[in-house]
Structure 1
Amino acid sequence: MECLMMLILSKAMLKYHMIGFAAGFFLDMLFGDPYWLPHPIRLIGSLISKLEGWLLKGERDKRREIFRGIVLVLLVVSFTVIVSGFILGGAYRIHPGIGITVEAVMTYQILAAKCLKTESMKVYTCLKENDLVKARRAVSMIVGRDTAVLDAEGVAKAAIETVAENTSDGVIAPMLYTALGGPVLGFAYKAVNTMDSMVGYKNDKYMYFGRAAAKLDDVVNYIPSRISAGLMILSAFAGGGAYSGKRAWMIYRRDRRKHASPNSAQTESVCAGALGIRLAGNASYFGKIVEKPYIGDPVRKVSFEDIRRANDLMYRTAILCELLCLGCMGLGIV
């Protein structure tokens, strides 16, 4: 009898999870991240900044900084899991309807498809209006490289690369983790991703302190980045004449390892192939030129219109992943 009750309860919770998961995806597609709405990721970022200031105090050496970087990861992930678990669990204990609503909002805050499109399309609008100064300023908000030296094509490439890479990091990977473990696991992933974006740099300040965050980010993105690439290839094949699925597959097989990160070139290579353009190459970071191999073939010159095409491909990939996750939930696979 007890086993039967547990089975009924687990099926009910799965149904609630599916509803909250689908509603959160819909909210993200519809609204994105309004600037006036306090966002949990900003709070996580603030926590990272405060802990960084505390942990980097005193004498600095390699072993100490590596250890303190591990402490940072443990503290941020633990805090994120405890707080998000407390909020979600408390909501479901009050009432299933409240739980579903809270889960939907939390899922909505984990995903970033609409925000990614909104920010990259600001670059598109500036380039379309031939305002290179504003375009550089707009793209500087979504990339880490130096943008003051970029020409119009360089600005467009930077925006396209960001959309391509963040199709995995900002959309598909958090969606997969949220589908698998609910918003608690989804926020844990976002905490790791946020740490990597803040301290995972190979410069004098973060070379050792940010190593744990960077390595963990590589680990948690390893499988999702490859799933993202596969889904993007399928989306390119289903995209009609706007994309080349055949070339996306070819460039992916050839160029997917052409990046210092084991994950970043996965979706970037697919996007370059699907659009028939060449991405990556040398870039300036903090005043220093970083040599990078090219990804893709220059079948045609990069255009600002490719920013819109990259976003459309990202949306197709996100919708496909959402349907796949819901299908797996329905079959009891996750």
Structure 2
Amino acid sequence: MIIDAHCDVLWKLWENDYDFHDSDLLRLNYKKWKKSDVKVQCFAIFVPDDVKEAAQYDVALEMVHIFFDRIIAPYDDVKFITSKEELISLAPHAKGAMLTLEGCHAIGHDLNKLKTLINMGVRAVGLTWNQANATCDGIEEKRGAGLSSFGEEVVDYLNEERIWTDVSHLSYQGFWDVMNRSQYPMASHSNVLELAGHPRNLDKDQLTALIKRKAWIGITFVPEFINGQTEAEWIEVLPHIDYILRMGGEDCLGFGSDFEGIDDIVKGLYDVNDFTAFVQQLIPRYGQRLVEKMSYVNFIDKFPRLR
């Protein structure tokens, strides 16, 4: 059993109108997912930065409708997941699908828009993508500012609703502001900066803070975040796991693949079907119990929304 905390299938379906059922152009489609050991897949609402500001929320809603119309509704064995209770009670034959938000640029300055998305089932919220928005600066914004007053309102609301605040993509100052304010921080898809110097990765101080807070950390399969290159091998993911384990992160680790979010490929982790073989190859190195914790136990244990 595997839980994957991040993919961009909704963006691909919105942009290209692929068939989710069996399109070979998707690294995660229904038929591939069904054959895999991925039990629960998180689907990110990611509005591309080239969408005009006035249309961004409408596009986010379009992606929500795609999620329900093309991923949930057609399949009796795909269940919409919004709580820990639903995660635990998912039937053996079923797959779970969860909504997340990658970037609050889609809500502008309007907290009610975020409330609507939460009411629709979003259960993890990344405040930024790489650029700045009304809540905070992203990691590529040269200004490097932290949470705005509106961003503080957003985090406070997420605390009230027991929703994860996702620190992946945040500016460095934004990360620390969130850690000081959020009751439920997590990193959906980030690796170790000391092993690959991409700014989207987390440094030792950031990882230490997340581990001290018992936050969930998703190792991601983006070549540049693994080795700084445009290609990587699956085995190169292991040093990132080892690093966080040495820091005491056994109860924090998980996976956030970022399938569909990138064009570059990790050999041996091309699509969702490779996930199963990857996890099986971890068992001789880490043992069954630890692999189960990384694969799904930590995610369920730390999921903040109880019911």
**TM-score, normalising length: structure 1:** 0.27
Larger radius of gyration: 1
Larger helix proportion, structure 1 or 2?
1
Name the one with the larger strand percent.
Answer: 2
**Normalised by the size of structure 2, how large is the TM-score?**
0.29
